[in-house]
Amino acid sequence: MKSVHVCLIGIAAAAVLGLVPVARADWDPIVPPKYVQWPDLSPMGVDVNATFRMGLPDGQAWPFVKVLADDFPCYQRGPITDIHIWGSWLYDQVNPNAVFKLSIHDDVPAGVDPNMLWSHPGQLRWQEFFQPTQYIAKPWGTTLEERFYEPNTQQFIGFDFTVWQYNFFPLEPFVQEGMDDTGKPRVYWLDVTCILPPDTAEVFGWKTSMEHWNDDAVFGDTYDPAVPPYYWRELFIDGYSRDMAFVITPEPATLCLLGAGLAGLVARRMRRK
């Protein structure tokens, strides 16, 4: 029986520890997330321009000077080591040399800023630029013809069919601070922009989510991708407020601890029999 117990312990540990490589690649739903907003693949789903074309004069660059952001709750203190988003490319024309900039901001609640009555990103807490060799892009699925939206002009500029999952692993992770002083989840904002060279025709869009939490997503324009927009607008499409599709997953060390804990639990239960 001892060999059976050892085998069961090994299987239990491997079942969880085996998730670690997944956590360092594309996100698989078997990895429990810290927070997730699933992409909307229904006819209501939309891809929203999140593209910045580098090097163009200001007038020529607009409206491809875009940053999108959405808020998310923080319940526990700890590093954010994995960020995954869903998006698509206009007419499925992919640029494999895209650079992504992700950032995390404090929350400015609705009504606090007299210039913007809606909530929006505040103080910059973390940002990182990801070169093509520093993220993993994976075709995630296909949809029927999905519309592609430009929020500045409030127009649909085309369509796409392929959903991509982009997976980022920060070199210097942001450490979220857990609950606030009142015991409520702390609110942060995740910002996303895709940086492309000036001579490209490709356009990246961050996909909307079928789920809603707290306040609407927002968008803004900036003429330097390292500098957040000074003004944010709420994202409304077809008269509906929208949120964005992304997931934040536990760090691999957390999964290792889960695996060790599960193995210990199995061992204790075997000893009682």
> What is the rounded average pLDDT for all residues in the chain?
83
Q: What is the mean pLDDT of residues 150-172?
A: 95
CB of 185 closer than 8 Å to CB of 75: yes
Q: Where is average pLDDT lowest: 31-40, 52-61, 159-168, 213-222? A: 52-61
What percentage of the chain reaches a pLDDT higher than 90? 59
More confident residue, 149 or 256: 149
Q: Percentage of residues in the chain with pLDDT exceeding 70?
A: 81
How would residue 62 be classed by pLDDT, with cut points 50, 70 and 90?
confident
Q: Is the pLDDT of residue 71 over 50?
A: yes
In the chain, domain spans? 1-32+251-273, 33-249
How confident is residue 272, by pLDDT bands cut at 50, 70 and 90?
A: very low
pLDDT value at 24 more than 50: yes
In the predicted structure, residue 22 carries a pLDDT above the cut 60:
no
Note the pLDDT of residue 104: 97
pLDDT in tens, 90-128: 999 999 999 999 999 999 999 899 889 899 999 999 999
Task: Map the chain to HEC letters.
Answer: CHHHHHHHHHHHHHHHHCCHHHHCCCCCCCCCCCEEECECCCCCCEEEECEEECCCCHHHHCCCEEEEEEEEEECCEEEECEEEEEEEEHHHCCCCCCEEEEEEEEEECCCCECCECCCEEEEEEEEEEECHHHEEEEEEEEEEEEEEEECCCCEEEEEEEEEEEEEECCCCCEEEECCCCCCCCEEEEEEEEEEECCCCCCCEEEEEECCCCCCCCEEEECCCCCCCCCCCEECEECCEECCECEEEECCHHHHHHHHHHHHHHHHHHHHHC
Check: CB of residue 227 under 8 Å from CB of residue 191. Answer: no
- The pLDDT, as a whole number, for residue 251 is 54
Query: Tens digits of per-residue pLDDT, 170-208?
Result: 999 999 888 888 888 899 999 999 999 988 899 999 999
How far lies 134's CA from each of 30, 163, 216, 224, in Å? 23, 20, 29, 21
Amino acid present at 86: W
CA distances from 93 to 101, 158, 159, 181, 200 (A): 20, 12, 11, 47, 10
pLDDT at 12 over 50: no
Cβ atoms 33, 157 nearer than 8 A: no
Closest CA to 87 of 102, 73, 72, 74: 102
18-31 mean pLDDT:
59
Say if CB 102 and CB 128 are below 8 A apart.
Answer: yes
Model pLDDT, residue 5: 39
Q: At residue 256, does pLDDT exceed 90? A: no
Ranked by mean pLDDT, which of 54-68, 171-185, 209-223 comes out on top?
209-223
Q: How confident is the model at residue 250 (pLDDT cuts 50, 70, 90)?
A: low
Above 80 in pLDDT, residue 244?
yes
